[in-house]
Structure 1
Amino acid sequence: MKFVCNPINMEYKYQFNHKDGIFNVLREAADPSMIFFNGKYFLFPSMTSGFIVSENLVDWEFHPLKDLPVYDYAPDVRVIGDYIYFSASRRSSNCSFYRTKDPIHGKFEEIEGNFPFWDPNLFVDEDGRIFFYWGCSNLTPIYGVELNPEDMKPIGEQVELIFSNPTEYGYERTGENHIFHRTPEQIEELVQSYASKLPKSKEGIIPEEGLNKLRATFGSDPYIEGAWMDKHHGKYYLQYSSPGTQYNVYSDGVYVSDKPLGPFSLAKNNPYSYKPGGFIPGAGHGSTMEDKWGNFWHASTMRISVNHDFERRLGIWPAGFDQDGELFCNQRYGDWPMKVEQATMNPWSNPEWMLLSYAKPANASSFEDGKDPLKATDENVQTWWKAASNTSGEWIEVDLKRVCDVHAVQINFADDRMTLPLPEGATLNGESTLLRYIDERKHYTRWLLEGSVDGKKYFEIEDKSETHTDLPHDLIVKEGGVKARYIRCTVKELPFNQSACVSGLRVFGIGDGELPKKSTGIKTELLSELDLSVTWENDNVVGHNVLWGFAPDKLYHSYMVFGSNQVQIGALIKGQSLYVRVDAFNEKGITEGEVYKVIE
């Protein structure tokens, strides 16, 4: 059996990101376009200088892209006939389309474009007509237009399709947990700082129109971006993302129509892809695909956003359309090991193994102040253990406090605000405000993973001390299980000879004891028409999953909570019915709660 554990286990390329004369070095992949083509799965992310290919959605192989605009964000790929069509984003010049019959070994043919766009998406209808969608702004909407298949030029005028509506759709509101923290004074300070670097008029001033655009950019209006179109049972599902990639609430919503250019109406289940909690949050700007077995999958962007707002990763989750045509995505345990069968699957299956490492004691060979080993067991990708030196052999160890059946370990390496000189001979690429260099050199992430029953005698779980891979979110699966109380990772080598940083040494398996008792004392309070507070009695469990939806049998949204008996949900839709359930989980399993009606 094959398992995936988000973030997707792939090589995330480093980039040298230029700002104020300094080069911040970090990994990034985002905005995935995932397709099924000639019996294989292809996934094209931003800032990867290539794409990854798989036959099973678990094991991915990297292939470089040459002679294509790899520094342009949000690459879109679609299958049209015998070809894969590729396009990417650029505002300062016209964007071309490219196509090939063999993306691995063949060349791409350019079809010259005649207008600029950002966050593109092609869609071919069953009758062969081609439609194109684009947009990425907190000022302008998602657009659509029909294209001529012969030359990919627009037919007719572009149509405005999706505008933001944050006063009625809570999930579109900007900010962490949809709470915007900038004051008007802070916004103006950002505007003036940014404006000072822009070209001025002959009189030495910046036009007020330009300043107003900057005020909108740094204000609370959400970004509406990342279009993706699917057709299912005669309905057109235009998907889009909001409110911003750097927030835990980055999500994908969906509008539905009988026609490819609308008019569109908001689907009841929104946002259909939404993961605000857990180890690594975020589930926006993605793509939806049907696999060879008829299962639907949604790939999307997950955020770290510590070293840079665009420090991001990729996730993949089961998706589908219910009996009423509502598009959904199951992200309840969306960063735990998930079984991927080569067969028709139940998209709502619970995980095989439970989280064993949350809040467990941890020890290390050394650590920097403020980056102690407990940061590797707090289920927060934005915190990490950092060794006090960059010498080979630094280690971190988790004590599970009892001998457990360990079935999987995910080792998540972090980068701690690295600044390095630009490599010799490297050149910066991209548009003026997004200049960077993607490092295509080979790097290695090498380590030894061991287990112990007593903390004295250790046995090997996995040895990658001589591997030729660079996998910062590696998943080690022992399907038959191993008995261990202590799990130790010894770091042998990392890119740029940096000090070892681990944001999550996450252990999964089956613990002892009973299933958790059903959550009690559930209280719900509407804080506004868009905000809901949910509380429950403290209990001795690992965590809770708060589910909600517009019907008692459609609890498609979830928020995983650790270390608290309260959560505030800011993703409500004004005037929509609302039902809530609080599930409890421990190291043994999951106990579902009762469904509560909040709004009729």
Structure 2
Amino acid sequence: MKKSLSGIIQLIVAALSLTTAQAQGTHMSTYCNPINIDYTYAVYDAHKDISYRSGADPAVVEFRNEYYMFVTRSMGYWHSTDLQNWSFIHPEKWYFQGSNAPAAFNYKDSVLYVAGDPSGSMSVLYTDNPKKGDWKATPSILWDLQDPALFIDDDGQAYMYWGSSNTYPLRVKKLDKEHRFKPSEETVELFKLHGDQHGWERFGENHADTALAGYMEGAWMTKHGGKYYLQYAAPGTEFNVYGDGVYVSDSPLGPFTYAPNNPVSYKPGGFANGAGHGSTVEGPGGQYWHFGSATVSVNMNWERRISMFPTHFDKDGLMHVNTYFGDYPHFAPAIAGREGAFAGWMLLSYKKPVKASSVLQDFRADHMVDENIKTFWVAENNNDQQWVEIDLQKPGRVHAIQLNYHDYKSDLYGKVHGLYHRYLITGSTDGKNWVTLVDRSDNHTDVPNDYVELGTPQTVRYIRFQNIHAPTTNLAVSGLRVFGQGQGKAPQKVRSFSVNRRTDRRDAMISWEKQPDAQGYNVLWGIAPDKLYSSWLVYGDNTLELKSLSVDQTYYFSVEAFNENGVSARTKVVKVE
């Protein structure tokens, strides 16, 4: 029987989409947080049979025009040529249970230094060949260090910063680089948290814990424009408000001045929350990037992922990390002129109807589209008969898809070799005729947060995920996120926007009138009308209690609405004394 012309066209389209899908992954123009690396399984809680991946405290450095990322307890580290595609290195020599909150520093492209012994008593490791990983150790021992940060200034003087405490300040010692990194006798105490003055340093989810003090940790030093930017994390890694602040000085030893726009790295809303305990590195084209820890904290508090954000220093020397739409697609570091810019692709899958082949207990399929990394679908079985289908309700032009797996009773520990994920994602305009969007049917790599940019965008209404192989005991997915452009209109500008600063000046209640066609809103604030460097993505609601303000700082606020079709104009900026 002869095929109809329309049928032949559909076959050609399917073949073309398969070809482009097979080319995806290594030459994408965009990336999406959390970044997709083969995260190591934690061993902290193996005695309790609690299995989960964790990637946190990333120390990212450039060395000979390439990049290395050292991550807590990962049994090795990652290498990249472009800050986008990472491959794991099994070094010849390394810490038996992985490094802990590691420090790293590139000295004049001659030697790469690392410190991060989990005991806190450590030598400085060094190598000129990190791809081989033939690490050697200096004889000198640095005692009782937690969360170290190594910095060597342009004059060759070395410094070690450290601290992880809800009581003690960050500290620093000079190191004698020419004599085995021998530490100085003098310890300089720098600064500690002041939650009574800086709202974002308060403990708890949404800074709501009034009993416990926040933790100061994760120091990292960046020198820029002759200034020293000492970054630190607060208030706790398991919270949505985990972020990084910065103090600035003319000297590595201080005195340091608190930056008025703190926290500089802050992402409390959206799918992947948290942007703390990170590192800042200069990437391709001189663009800076900040890597931070994003919380999952379902199986255990220490269940985390890694995100990266474009970072800038403004004309007044203020460092700021751009987390605006921070877990949506952004242009990759190697895309000159657009590196780090928001791609403008919106979320087509948010709270859309979902069907699944099977559901285990209460781990429903609609958890995959609720933009909550802590909720997830679990299939009754982990086999190639499991599928999920999303009805986008209206046709949309799909540009990219992110598939986030979850560890539900995975029973894996440490750096497990040979893990891989295989699946197929197809799309349809009518629910009957399907074209391939993403083909991972012959994938041989571990992709727990897989993000795929389609080589050729496709206009579809239905999205279907077909499992082929997941390396875990159970098939569990926390987010099947479809990005693209709807065919309707963006929301109108938000009305009735108000900011009520509380008697406790660290807090403000922000409200606005709900827009009928809005998925969510971005609340933006900063210390000047042209410095709205902070943002909080809110889904559904039309209020936000913001508890991250500094007592003695004036702020400026605005809000915008968004949906699958685009983003509204922002409201007029409101000044709040």
With the length of structure 1 as denominator, give the TM-score of the two structures. Answer: 0.88
1:267 aligns with 2:259: yes
Residue 15 (structure 2) aligns with: none
2:37 aligned partner, one-letter code: M
Match of 2:555 among 578, 587, 590: 578
1:124 aligned partner, one-letter code: I
Taking the aligned partners of 2:470 and 2:335, their CA distance within structure 1 comes to: 37
Tell me if structure 1 keeps the 8 A contact 2:491–2:562. Answer: yes
Match of 1:41 among 59, 67, 78: 67
Residue 102 (structure 1) aligns with: 129
Residue 372 (structure 1) aligns with: 364
Tell me if structure 1 keeps the 8 A contact 2:526–2:556. Answer: yes
> Per the alignment, in what secondary structure is the counterpart of residue 376 of structure 1?
helix
Taking the aligned partners of 1:362 and 1:469, their CA distance within structure 2 comes to: 28
1:526-572 deviation line (CA, Å, top 9, x unaligned): 23210111111111211100001111111111100001111111110
Taking the aligned partners of 1:16 and 1:94, their CA distance within structure 2 comes to: 21
1:85-125 deviation line (CA, Å, top 9, x unaligned): 0110434x621111000101251111132423111111111
Taking the aligned partners of 1:445 and 1:15, their CA distance within structure 2 comes to: 19
Residue 541 (structure 1) aligns with: 518
Tell me if structure 2 keeps the 8 A contact 1:36–1:42. Answer: yes
How far apart are residue 474 of structure 1 and its match?
A: 0.4
1:444 aligns with 2:470: no
Residue 111 (structure 1) aligns with: 138
How far apart are residue 67 of structure 1 and its match?
A: 2.4
Aligned length: 544
> Per the alignment, in what secondary structure is the counterpart of residue 117 of structure 1?
coil
| Range with greater deviation from structure 2 (442-451 or 94-103) | 442-451
1:502 aligned partner, one-letter code: V
Residue 499 (structure 2) aligns with: 524
Q: 1:382 to 1:472 in 2, by over 3 A?
A: same
Residue 429 (structure 2) aligns with: 453
1:152 aligns with 2:181: yes
Residue 87 (structure 1) aligns with: 115
Q: 1:28 to 1:341 in 2, by over 3 A?
A: closer
Taking the aligned partners of 2:284 and 2:454, their CA distance within structure 1 comes to: 27
| 1:329-408 alignment runs, 5 A limit | 329-342=321-334, 344-345=336-337, 349-408=341-400
Taking the aligned partners of 1:266 and 1:595, their CA distance within structure 2 comes to: 28
Residue 10 (structure 2) aligns with: none
1:17 aligns with 2:44: yes
Taking the aligned partners of 1:45 and 1:341, their CA distance within structure 2 comes to: 20
1:550 aligned partner, one-letter code: I
How far apart are residue 341 of structure 1 and its match?
A: 4.9
| 1:551-566 alignment runs, 5 A limit | 551-566=528-543
1:471 aligns with 2:447: yes
> Per the alignment, in what secondary structure is the counterpart of residue 469 of structure 1?
coil
Residue 189 (structure 1) aligns with: none
> Per the alignment, in what secondary structure is the counterpart of residue 171 of structure 1?
helix
Taking the aligned partners of 2:199 and 2:528, their CA distance within structure 1 comes to: 18
1:110-154 deviation line (CA, Å, top 9, x unaligned): 113242311111111111111110111112111111110121111
2:245 aligned partner, one-letter code: G
Higher strand share: 1
How far apart are residue 512 of structure 1 and its match?
A: 1.0
Taking the aligned partners of 2:381 and 2:44, their CA distance within structure 1 comes to: 25
Residue 488 (structure 1) aligns with: 464
Residue 223 (structure 1) aligns with: 215
| 1:50-69 alignment runs, 5 A limit | 50-69=76-95
Tell me if structure 2 keeps the 8 A contact 1:16–1:23. Answer: no
Residue 250 (structure 1) aligns with: 242
1:365-400 deviation line (CA, Å, top 9, x unaligned): 011232211111000000011112223321111111
Taking the aligned partners of 1:477 and 1:342, their CA distance within structure 2 comes to: 15
Tell me if structure 1 keeps the 8 A contact 2:344–2:566. Answer: no
> Could you list the runs of 5+ residues in structure 2 that have no partner in the other structure?
1-27
Tell me if structure 1 keeps the 8 A contact 2:82–2:284. Answer: no
CA-based RMSD: 1.7
How far apart are residue 356 of structure 1 and its match?
A: 0.8
1:334 aligned partner, one-letter code: G
> Per the alignment, in what secondary structure is the counterpart of residue 416 of structure 1?
coil
1:334-381 deviation line (CA, Å, top 9, x unaligned): 101111253554577333311111111111101123221111100000
Taking the aligned partners of 1:509 and 1:279, their CA distance within structure 2 comes to: 17
1:15 aligned partner, one-letter code: A
> Per the alignment, in what secondary structure is the counterpart of residue 26 of structure 1?
coil
Using the aligned pairs only, state the percent identity. 40
Residue 155 (structure 2) aligns with: 127
Residue 289 (structure 1) aligns with: 281
How far apart are residue 495 of structure 1 and its match?
A: 1.9
1:465 aligned partner, one-letter code: S
1:172 aligned partner, one-letter code: E
Q: 1:131 to 1:356 in 2, by over 3 A?
A: same
With the length of structure 2 as denominator, give the TM-score of the two structures. Answer: 0.91
1:459-502 deviation line (CA, Å, top 9, x unaligned): 22222123111111101111431121111111121223x22111
Q: 1:544 to 1:141 in 2, by over 3 A?
A: same
1:153 aligned partner, one-letter code: K
2:56 aligned partner, one-letter code: A
2:374 aligned partner, one-letter code: Q
1:50-85 deviation line (CA, Å, top 9, x unaligned): 111112221111111342225331111110130000
Residue 6 (structure 1) aligns with: 33
Taking the aligned partners of 1:222 and 1:66, their CA distance within structure 2 comes to: 38
Tell me if structure 2 keeps the 8 A contact 1:400–1:485. Answer: yes
> Per the alignment, in what secondary structure is the counterpart of residue 197 of structure 2?
coil
> Per the alignment, in what secondary structure is the counterpart of residue 273 of structure 1?
coil
Taking the aligned partners of 1:144 and 1:345, their CA distance within structure 2 comes to: 38
Tell me if structure 1 keeps the 8 A contact 2:45–2:51. Answer: no
1:245 aligned partner, one-letter code: T
Taking the aligned partners of 1:348 and 1:448, their CA distance within structure 2 comes to: 29
Residue 13 (structure 2) aligns with: none
> Could you list the runs of 5+ residues in structure 1 that have no partner in the other structure?
182-218, 423-436
1:133 aligned partner, one-letter code: Y
| Range with greater deviation from structure 2 (559-568 or 66-75) | 66-75
Q: 1:89 to 1:110 in 2, by over 3 A?
A: closer
Residue 101 (structure 2) aligns with: 74
> Per the alignment, in what secondary structure is the counterpart of residue 293 of structure 1?
helix
Tell me if structure 2 keeps the 8 A contact 1:404–1:512. Answer: yes
Taking the aligned partners of 2:542 and 2:469, their CA distance within structure 1 comes to: 40
2:437 aligned partner, one-letter code: I
| Range with greater deviation from structure 2 (224-233 or 341-350) | 341-350
Taking the aligned partners of 1:480 and 1:284, their CA distance within structure 2 comes to: 35
Runs of 4+ residues deviating >6 angstroms: none
Taking the aligned partners of 1:75 and 1:53, their CA distance within structure 2 comes to: 15
